[in-house]
Amino acid sequence: ATKISFMNEMANLAEMLGADIEMVRQGIGSDPRIGYQFLYAGVGYGGSCFPKDVQALIRTADSIDFDAKVLKAVESRNDEQKSVLFKKISNHFSGELSGKTFALWGLSFKPNTDDMREAPSRVLMEALWKAGAKVQAFDPEAMEETQRIYGNREDLGLCGTKEAALKGADALVIVTEWQAFKAPDFVLIKQLLKKPIIFDGRNLFEPKRLRNKNYSYISIGRSN
């Protein structure tokens, strides 16, 4: 959890300074004392373990009057990071999100599970709904769990394929790094979206490649 929050903080800093967090990650991870595991910038961690365990350690520290500064910073950065995608979307559209539709790829907090506990997708969807936007979502595993949590809503469409989620949307937003999302048909994406705009919360693609395909590509910790 600490490595994830640290990298997210470095990503935000890199973006403001015009650096590339992916280059930073390669440099840091090449040190064998650190390694590459959990060294990826993104939209924050979720699930049942990391949030609960960090919070439990903080409560334990508080119970003996110890100020766990690092643990509190880990949790605080993670909470803020879950709103980064929404802020990027809002900035891109100048805050005018009402009536717009966004295709979401990924709802579970990580790939290969249907678990949506503390998932960044929930923070994003709820912020989009509050702003008056609609969501067309696809996840390989978490569709039933999303239905269970949110029920039937006019501003939420659960789609049978990742391509169906794109149809008529104002932009694609990638929230979970499922393998099925890593090599999409960019020609088809451009055909199905109203405009070729991708917000990538997991840095799945190479910015230069997307620019060469005339996409507006906004990712995490890289020059946009």
The residues that are catalytic are 49
Distances, alpha carbon 76 to alpha carbons 5, 56, 62, 79, 80, in Å: 9, 14, 16, 5, 6
**DSSP β-bridge partners for residue 137:** 104, 158
Name the phi and psi angles at 138, rounded to 5. Answer: -140, 135
Helical segments of 82-142, H only: 84-92, 120-130
Evaluate whether 178 touches 106 at the Cβ level (below 8 Å).
yes
Evaluate whether 84 touches 12 at the Cβ level (below 8 Å).
yes
Evaluate whether 125 touches 137 at the Cβ level (below 8 Å).
yes
Nearest to 157 by CA among 119, 127, 111, 168: 168
